[in-house]
């Protein structure tokens, strides 16, 4: 047993509630992990005046992995951008070099009726979105200014360089290799130069992966296909903005955004693990949040950063068993509280 350090950042809204359930599951497995909590997001701003205080960043750098809840609180929406809660997660991704976001979406048996799609279509979904996480319009030059005519103007530069594209493309190819061997790159190369470079570089990297069947698709078509015939997708690699949008869409296709975990990875083994849902301030503190995405994120953490694949699988099987046994939070059409859903997963463990 090693004493590896997990930094736990619950954050805002339902973040702390769902992370608490993930902690219960990890504690029950008795893996010899050490946990240290830190402040992020609006919660951190309220206490320290900054959404990502230096102590939090230092803790993340020291840790073997970061377990993250969610950030975002309406009371801080009017702050200047650098102080808004979202800067905590964007800052962590950037500072830790976490350029690759792995977002698996598959339908747990029993959730067919919770999906926005017809059950026979929903059942076919088993895909992974590999989303670039530290570039694109998210991190390009941005601001507000006046036009020559004096009109207010906002701008966000979309940009990628070839190194950024090549490294995420490799993660896409490797992910595809560990699955069906098919990779779909999603872009908007018919309109955007950034996307044309993306496509060119992905094609170049493909030469190193002759066994992988690579295809390209425009993002508008991909959004349509994702609800029309999602079974055609296996591994999708795409940029930061397109990946953000497509992953929320994929979430609704598998029943609820409360079911989707994610891993943010960089060149080192250290990663950040978070449910893809946000802070959901409307249901915060009411015990209504679905902890499954956070619990499944903890499983991804065990697999990717802590090299503990067996307990990771145990957690995933336990979530599947809890769902199969009928445990449902309100987002899944049931009445379980957050804690009761955690209980059901623990019981299945
Ligand atoms: C996500 C979220 C974040 C993003 C927000 C909270 C900054 O939507 O992780 O998908 O846009 O990346
Ligand atoms: Mg998002």
Atom of ligand 1 nearest to the CA of 240: 12
Residue 138 known to be catalytic: yes
Q: What is the pLDDT of residue 16?
A: 98
Residue 220 known to be catalytic: yes
| Ligand 1 proximity of 40 Cβ (cutoff 6 Å) | no
Residue 94 known to be catalytic: no
Q: Specify the higher pLDDT residue, 115 or 219.
A: 219
Residue 343 known to be catalytic: no
Q: What is the pLDDT of residue 255?
A: 86
% of the chain exceeding 70 in pLDDT: 99
Contact 231, 253 (CB under 8 A): no
CA of 32 to the centre of ligand 2 (A): 32
CA of 143 to the centre of ligand 1 (A): 19
Residue whose CA lies nearest to ligand 1 atom number 10: 244
Q: Considering 188, 209, 273, 288, which one is annotated as catalytic?
A: 188
| Ligand 1 proximity of 12 Cβ (cutoff 6 Å) | no
Task: Look at residue 206 and tell me whether its pLDDT is greater than 90.
Answer: yes
C-alpha span between 143 and 158 (Å, rounded): 13
CA of 241 to the centre of ligand 1 (A): 9
C-alpha span between 141 and 155 (Å, rounded): 8
C-alpha angle 37/277/115, rounded to 5°?
145
Q: What is the pLDDT of residue 3?
A: 74
Q: What is the pLDDT of residue 268?
A: 86
Q: Which domains does the chain have, with CATH numbers?
A: 1-97+268-349 (3.40.718.10), 103-258 (3.40.718.10)
Q: Considering 126, 156, 234, 248, which one is annotated as catalytic?
A: 248
Model confidence pLDDT, tens digit, residues 167-187? 999 999 999 999 999 999 999
Task: Look at residue 1 and tell me whether its pLDDT is greater than 60.
Answer: no
Q: Output the six-digit token pair for 183.
A: 């990779």
Contact 219, 242 (CB under 8 A): yes
Model confidence pLDDT, tens digit, residues 293-347? 999 999 999 999 999 999 999 999 999 999 999 999 999 999 999 999 999 999 9
Task: Look at residue 2 and tell me whether its pLDDT is greater than 70.
Answer: no
Three-class HEC string of the chain? CCCCEEEEEEECCCHHHHHHHHHHHHHHHCCCCEEEECCCHHHHHHHHCCCCCHHHHHHHHHCCEEEEEECCCHHHCCCCHHHCCHHHHHHHHHHCCCCEEEEEEECCCCCHHHCCCCHHHHCCCEEEEEEECCCHHHCCCEEEEECCCCCEEEEECCCCCHHHHHHHHHHHHHHHHHCCCEEEEEECCCCCHHHHHHHHHHHHHHCCCCCCEEEEEEHHHHHHHHHHCHHHCCEEEECHHHHHHHHHHHHHHCCCHHHCCCEEECCCCCEEECCCCCCCHHHCCCCCCCCHHHHHHHHHHHHHCCCCHHHHHHHHHHHHHHHHCCCCCHHHCCCCCHHHHHHHHHHHC
Q: What is the pLDDT of residue 156?
A: 98
In DSSP terms, 152 is beta-bridged to: 146
Model confidence pLDDT, tens digit, residues 210-254? 999 999 999 999 999 999 999 999 999 999 999 999 999 998 899
Residue whose CA lies nearest to ligand 1 atom number 7: 86
């Amino acid at each position: 047993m090693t004493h590896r350090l997990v930094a736990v950042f619950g954050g805002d809204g339902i973040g702390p509630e769902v992370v608490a359930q993930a902690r219960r599951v990890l504690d029950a497995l008795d893996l010899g992990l050490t946990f240290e909590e830190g402040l992020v997001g609006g919660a951190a701003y309220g206490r320290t005046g900054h959404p990502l205080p230096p102590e939090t960043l230092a803790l993340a750098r020291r840790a073997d992995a970061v377990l993250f809840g969610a950030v975002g609180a309406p009371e801080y929406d009017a702050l200047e951008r650098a102080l808004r809660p979202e800067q905590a997660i964007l800052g962590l991704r950037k500072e830790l070099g976490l350029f690759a976001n792995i977002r698996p979406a598959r339908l747990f048996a029993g959730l067919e009726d919770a999906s926005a799609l017809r059950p026979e279509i929903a059942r076919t979904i088993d895909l992974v979105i590999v989303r670039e996480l530290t570039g694109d319009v998210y991190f390009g030059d941005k601001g507000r200014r006046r036009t020559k005519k004096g009109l207010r103007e906002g701008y966000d530069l979309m940009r990628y360089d070839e190194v950024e594209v090549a490294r995420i493309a490799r993660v896409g190819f490797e992910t595809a290799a560990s699955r069906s061997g098919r990779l779909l790159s999603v872009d908007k190369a018919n309109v955007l130069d950034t996307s044309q470079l993306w496509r060119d570089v992905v094609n170049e990297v493909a030469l190193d992966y002759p066994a992988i069947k690579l295809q390209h698709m425009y993002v508008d078509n991909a959004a349509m296909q994702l609800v029309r015939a999602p079974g055609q997708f296996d591994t999708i690699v795409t940029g930061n903005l397109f990946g953000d949008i497509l992953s929320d869409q994929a979430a609704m296709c598998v029943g609820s955004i409360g079911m989707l975990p994610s891993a943010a990875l960089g060149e080192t083994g250290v990663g950040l693990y978070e449910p893809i849902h946000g802070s959901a301030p409307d249901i915060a503190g009411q015990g209504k949040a679905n902890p499954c995405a956070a619990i499944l994120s903890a499983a991804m953490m065990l697999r990717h950063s802590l090299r503990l694949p067996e307990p990771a699988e145990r957690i995933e099987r336990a979530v599947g068993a809890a769902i199969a046994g009928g445990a449902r939070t309100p987002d899944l059409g049931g009445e379980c509280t957050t804690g009761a859903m955690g209980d059901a997963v623990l019981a299945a463990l």
